[in-house]
Amino acid sequence: MPELPEVEVTRLGISPHLLGKNLQGAIVRESRLRLAVNADLSAQVAGQKLEQIRRRGKYLLLDLQRGSILIHLGMSGHLRVLPQDTPVEKHDHVDLLFAQDTCLRFHDPRRFGVLCWLKEADTHPLIARLGPEPLGEDFSGAYLHAQSRQRQIPVKAFLMDAHQVVGVGNIYANEALFAAGIDPRRPAGRISLARYTLLAAAVRVVLEAAIQQGGTTLRDFTRPDGRNGYFRLSLAVYGREGQACIRCGKALQGIRIGGRATTYCSHCQH
């Protein structure tokens, strides 16, 4: 599933081609996504200018003059900016038609994504209860420490809870906990303010590095055959179970926390 950096790079990739343009309508070829695409989508958006493209966690919000288009890429979705007459491929489910022969095409083979029109996006249940952005001013070690008091769940599960902080997915949670030297199994409420300060900084560094590496893929958002996946990160622990720790050389351990693969160093993380 695309994680926060992939979604942020998508936002950066499509924004220069779409901002300020008027929507002419939409073509819906398949409405049966995770949430049904609005039957009247084309009528709702036609004639409105795209004023802003923003991200909340792993959701994109295309803010128009009278509402927003909410997009989630699901497990396999991606967006492309193309001429409107670009031949349609299988799984090209929705086209948003803009002025100047521009089309934003939503492709999703597994149909776990979302594309819907909302008059009040920020109060929608998918958005309203999300925690602060990990790259925003409200996210800090002090915030994590305050939110975690009396919590007995593993710190990795706490960090991945979108109600606490949005968009820290499995890959980046593994990497940030290793960078901060924190055992992912530790109860969230038993970690000090000093260590949460280290963790908050590590989350920022890991996510910003991924976004920066993704910058090299921005041109792919205007190619019909472009495919953006996980960036080729230099991963310290994720996916390296049984391999040598880059710090101490001991074999990395693999477990499951909250049903998600978790890799850590029992010597360097405590």
From the list 11, 185, 240, 260, the catalytic residue is 260
Report which of 117, 107, 125, 7 is spatially closest to residue 56, judged by C-alpha positions: 7
Q: Judging by DSSP bridges, how do beta strands 59-63 and 102-107 pair with one another? A: unpaired
Q: Judging by DSSP bridges, how do beta strands 102-107 and 92-98 pair with one another? A: antiparallel
Q: Is 91 annotated as a binding residue?
A: yes
From the list 3, 6, 8, 175, the catalytic residue is 3
DSSP assignment string, 104-152: EEEE-TT---EEEEESSGGGSHHHHT----TTSTT--HHHHHHHHTT--
Whether 3 sits among the annotated catalytic residues: the reply is yes
Asked if 109 contacts 76 with a C-beta cutoff of 8 angstroms, the reply is yes
Whether 119 sits among the annotated catalytic residues: the reply is no
Strands of the 23-28 sheet, one edge to the other: 23-28, 92-98, 102-107, 78-83
35 pairs with which residues across the strands? none
From the list 2, 5, 134, 184, the catalytic residue is 2
Phi, psi dihedral angles at 54 (to 5 degrees): -130, 170
From the list 55, 56, 58, 80, the catalytic residue is 58
Q: Is 270 annotated as a binding residue?
A: no
Using CA atoms, how far apart are residues 204 and 207, in angstroms rounded to an integer? 5
Q: Is 107 annotated as a binding residue?
A: no
DSSP assignment string, 12-48: HHHHHHHTTPBEEEEEES---SSSPPPTTHHHHHTT-
Q: Judging by DSSP bridges, how do beta strands 102-107 and 114-118 pair with one another? A: unpaired
Whether 90 sits among the annotated catalytic residues: the reply is no
Whether 51 sits among the annotated catalytic residues: the reply is no
Binding residue ranges for DNA: 91, 110, 151
Active site members: 2-3, 58, 260
Give the annotated binding-site residues.
91, 110, 151
